[in-house]
Amino acid sequence: MARGSGIVSTAEGEFFVPASHVNGAFDGDFVELSPLPGQHRRDRRLPGASGAADHRRAARVARVLERAHTHVVGTYRVGEPFGVVTPHDERIPYDVFILNSLVAGSVPNGALVNVRIEDWPTRYTPATGVVEEVLGDCFDERVMIDLIVAAHQLETEFSTASLEEAAAADLGDQQALREGYRDIRDRLAFTVDPVDARDYDDALSFEAVSAGDADAPRGSVWRVGVHIADVSRYVPWGSAIDGEARRRATSAYLVDRVIPMLPERLSNDLCSLVPHATRLCMTVDLYLDARGRVLSSRMYPALMRSQARLTYDFALALLQGEGVGAGGIGMDGVCGPCGAGESREKVRPREAGAVAHACKANEAVRAGEADATGAEAARAVGARRLPNEACVYDEALVPALRERLVGLSGVAQARKELRRQRGGLDFDTVEAKVVLDDAGVPREVRLREKTLATELVEEAMIMANEAVARYLRRSDFPSLYRVHEAPDADELEALVSVLQEFSWMDASLAAGVAAGSAHALARAMEACAGRPEHDLVCMVCLRSMKRAAYAAQPAGHYGLASDDYTHFTSPIRRYPDLVVHRMLKARLFGKDGLFDQQVAALRQIAEHSSQAERRAEAAARDSQQAKMVELMEGSVGSVFSAQVSGVTGFGLFVRLENTAEGLLPASALGREYFSFDPLRRTLTGQGSGRTYRLGQHLAVRLDEADRVTRRLTFSRAGTDEPA
């Protein structure tokens, strides 16, 4: 697309706006359109370009109703009498002029700057602004991420009032007990998180149902406890902390830093479920039968104490029996370390005693517990940090921890199967994380995939989210929900066209996918399991989905095949979760004087939180991409094996094994004309007949790694021909 032109989405469809009719609008602005009669956009037929026409209706921007940008980030160039800032975001086609008298030589030529726009561009006048911050230069290891933070307008500082409120916050455990909080500190609860986790807002517990549990329904065998930090206790509606948290709506997790939603006194200390420290929580007890079905749930505020902090890697090692004896309490009710318990077929409700004997290991913790800080308490019970420094646990608890992990893993696999049967989707994607050294220099790429350890946590959180949503909906009580709509028909049609390029996609499966059947989509992803195109198929299926969002009314979750879903399990980092905690407490204990005010704000909170989530996710992606490009600078000229991940009229997008992605321009495929088929997503040379399609593997050479634009550019390497 030509620089400066744009696409505007409306209720009547998409319109193409030529560069000459943008009328000073920036990317993301809310605009009023005026159609251009009889005009449609058509691509020019040039060598290396698509032969397909784009029949979007043409329009002009009549006026800008709401600006998406108040600031831009770009490179400052000295001039007379104005300096000029060229935005780094190429979707903003306007330079911003800076009067030299306003900078007085304080901004060096070539510096990266953050500019506040004062006058917007028109057909006759340029944009003007004021330099508010000099970020540095693009070769500073930290500056490129600072640039991303500024470009996405992420808040990095807390107000004095909110910091003072956070500093004055007190644990208040004794007062909580007087108010009716349950004391469940004798449970063997623990956290499982990534090795680089900064806050710990969810903990788990797992036990066989005991005969004395009055909450257990008939037929229940297991009790899964999901314990979530009681953030709402310390962040009341209308407080300074609440105002800032509502505005931020989410924490942002960038490649080299976390920008928290709450002050660190809360997010990393008082609300964080650190090991061996008393914390306030909201608990959801889930009672399951032997098949993993949730029979009932109980929700209440409590005092809990995490007995261990585990990483996913260490939890997986325990699940796999590394470093400890074989066994554990599984779905069959048998405890590995001593063989206690009975097989699943023989276990009777309320009589599965496979946990009781193992819980004596808790005595080693309770005997020396201390509450000053998690670290002091850990030392008091002889906790060790092995084999990962991010882990904190007592060696005496290892067998009991493994029992719980094995049990939770069994529940997780049963829950996955139940969700698969009702049409839930499981996108088996790989997440890449660029690892930096202390100076912010990228050193390697680590790939994160789903494991038994990540799944047991994920499934427990899904169960808790569903239980809370179901309880509030059935109570006809106001709240926020996480909704995910079914994909649009045109997206499904395009997806079918892509998947039909693969041999396993038969007519029956294609019809199911086109009809929006989640079962058919699941079968398509199963059909390509173990094939070279598996990751690509998961990716294109995921791209065809609508974005999940927050709403004040329940509307179901297509991807999870769930009628009731909310976000309840991460109130430290997501404001909607904090709101759900407040609504749940109001349902359990009664409404306060500010309840109606909170309910009136639910719709606005949902819309704003959805937008803020997208902004934080975009910043996170940009930060990873920036460091990925920086890492790849040292490999310019090297040859890689790559997979075609996207096909456009102007070339191919290719993805390396480390997930780095870049453009292989059509001009680098040969001097012939290439025809683009937008339905099949193919490029075909008119002279040679060579066809390039999604999923193909090619040898490519890295020609350029541009850290300023965060782009990688490739060319063909070798003589292998596409299929």
Alpha helix positions (H), 475-601? 489-499, 507-514, 518-527, 534-544, 575-589, 595-600
Q: What is the pLDDT of residue 104?
A: 61
Q: What is the pLDDT of residue 18?
A: 85
Of 216-220, 342-346, 598-602, the range with the highest mean pLDDT is 598-602
> What is the spatial distance between Cα 485 and Cα 558, in angstroms, rounded to a whole number?
6
Q: What is the pLDDT of residue 237?
A: 97
Residue 388 — very low, low, confident or very high, per pLDDT cuts 50/70/90? Answer: low
Burial 177-200 (b: 16+ CB within 10 A, else e): eeeebeebbebbbbbbbeeebbbb
The greatest distance separating any two alpha carbons of the chain, rounded to the nearest whole angstrom, comes to 88
Say yes or no to pLDDT of 359 above 60. no
More confident call, 88 vs 100: 88
3-state secondary structure of 602: helix
Residue 225 — very low, low, confident or very high, per pLDDT cuts 50/70/90? Answer: very high
Residue 148 vs residues 107, 580, 592, 618: alpha-carbon distances, Å: 19, 31, 41, 9
Q: What is the pLDDT of residue 719?
A: 58
pLDDT 10s digits, 549-565: 999 999 999 999 999 99
What is the rounded average pLDDT of the residues 243-251?
Answer: 97
**H-helix or E-strand spanning residue 35:** strand 30-40
Pairing, β 182-183 against β 294-311: parallel
Say yes or no to pLDDT of 372 above 60. no
Question: Which of 161-175, 379-393, 594-608 bottoms out in mean pLDDT, i.e. has the lowest?
Answer: 379-393
What is the rounded average pLDDT of the residues 129-152?
Answer: 80
What is the rounded average pLDDT of the residues 347-374?
Answer: 31
In this structure, which amino acid lies at residue 692? Y
More confident call, 198 vs 451: 451
Please give the share of the chain, as a percent, with pLDDT higher than 70: 86
Residue 568 — very low, low, confident or very high, per pLDDT cuts 50/70/90? Answer: very high
> What is the spatial distance between Cα 500 and Cα 537, in angstroms, rounded to a whole number?
11
Q: What is the pLDDT of residue 373?
A: 41
Q: What is the pLDDT of residue 39?
A: 58
Q: What is the pLDDT of residue 53?
A: 41
Of 39-43, 239-243, 369-373, 535-539, the range with the highest mean pLDDT is 239-243
* Phi-psi group of 284: left, alpha or beta (phi > 0 → left; psi -120 to 50 → alpha; rest → beta): beta
**DSSP symbol at 358:** G
Q: What is the pLDDT of residue 528?
A: 87
**H-helix or E-strand spanning residue 607:** helix 602-632
In this structure, which amino acid lies at residue 686? Q
**DSSP symbol at 334:** B
Residue 389 — very low, low, confident or very high, per pLDDT cuts 50/70/90? Answer: low
Residues 6+ apart with CB under 8 A from 160: none
Q: What is the pLDDT of residue 330?
A: 40
pLDDT 10s digits, 697-710: 999 999 999 987 89
Pairing, β 661-665 against β 651-656: antiparallel
Angle between helices 398-421 and 452-474 (to 10 degrees): 60
Q: What is the pLDDT of residue 139?
A: 62
> What is the spatial distance between Cα 506 and Cα 517, in angstroms, rounded to a whole number?
15
Residue 361 — very low, low, confident or very high, per pLDDT cuts 50/70/90? Answer: very low
Say yes or no to pLDDT of 54 above 70. no
Residues 6+ apart with CB under 8 A from 695: 501, 502, 532, 533, 536, 537, 643, 644
Of 391, 366, 374, 310, the closest CA to residue 171 belongs to: 374
Say yes or no to pLDDT of 3 above 70. no
DSSP string for 534-548:
HHHHHHHHHHHSPPP
**H-helix or E-strand spanning residue 643:** strand 639-648
Integer-rounded Cα Rg, in Å, for the chain is 28
More confident call, 48 vs 625: 625
For residue 150, what are its two tokens? 């500024």
Domains and CATH numbers, the chain: 6-66 (no CATH), 71-137 (2.40.50.700), 163-428+442-455 (no CATH), 636-716 (2.40.50.140)
> What is the spatial distance between Cα 264 and Cα 270, in angstroms, rounded to a whole number?
9
Q: Are 369 and 381 in contact (CB under 8 A)?
A: yes
Residues 6+ apart with CB under 8 A from 632: 660, 702, 705, 712
For residue 24, what are its two tokens? 């000073």
Residue 105 — very low, low, confident or very high, per pLDDT cuts 50/70/90? Answer: low
- What is the rounded average pLDDT for all residues in the chain? 84
Q: Are 536 and 643 in contact (CB under 8 A)?
A: yes
Say yes or no to pLDDT of 604 above 90. yes
Q: What is the pLDDT of residue 270?
A: 96
Q: How many CA atoms lie within 13 A of 562 on its CB side?
A: 27
Say yes or no to pLDDT of 620 above 60. yes
Q: Are 504 and 528 in contact (CB under 8 A)?
A: yes
> What is the spatial distance between Cα 286 and Cα 213, in angstroms, rounded to a whole number?
12
Q: What is the pLDDT of residue 354?
A: 27
Of 420, 463, 458, 457, the closest CA to residue 295 belongs to: 463
What is the rounded average pLDDT of the residues 348-372?
Answer: 31
Residue 606 — very low, low, confident or very high, per pLDDT cuts 50/70/90? Answer: very high
Say yes or no to pLDDT of 326 above 70. no
For residue 200, what are its two tokens? 């710990």
For residue 437, what are its two tokens? 């050294």
Residue 365 — very low, low, confident or very high, per pLDDT cuts 50/70/90? Answer: very low
What is the rounded average pLDDT of the residues 291-311?
Answer: 97
pLDDT 10s digits, 477-508: 999 999 999 999 888 988 898 888 888 999 99
Residue 588 — very low, low, confident or very high, per pLDDT cuts 50/70/90? Answer: very high
Q: What is the pLDDT of residue 106?
A: 75
What is the rounded average pLDDT of the residues 54-59?
Answer: 72
3-state secondary structure of 455: helix
Please give the share of the chain, as a percent, with pLDDT higher than 90: 54
pLDDT 10s digits, 142-186: 778 888 898 888 999 999 999 999 999 999 999 999 999 999 999
Residue 406 — very low, low, confident or very high, per pLDDT cuts 50/70/90? Answer: very high
What is the rounded average pLDDT of the residues 286-304?
Answer: 97
In this structure, which amino acid lies at residue 652? L
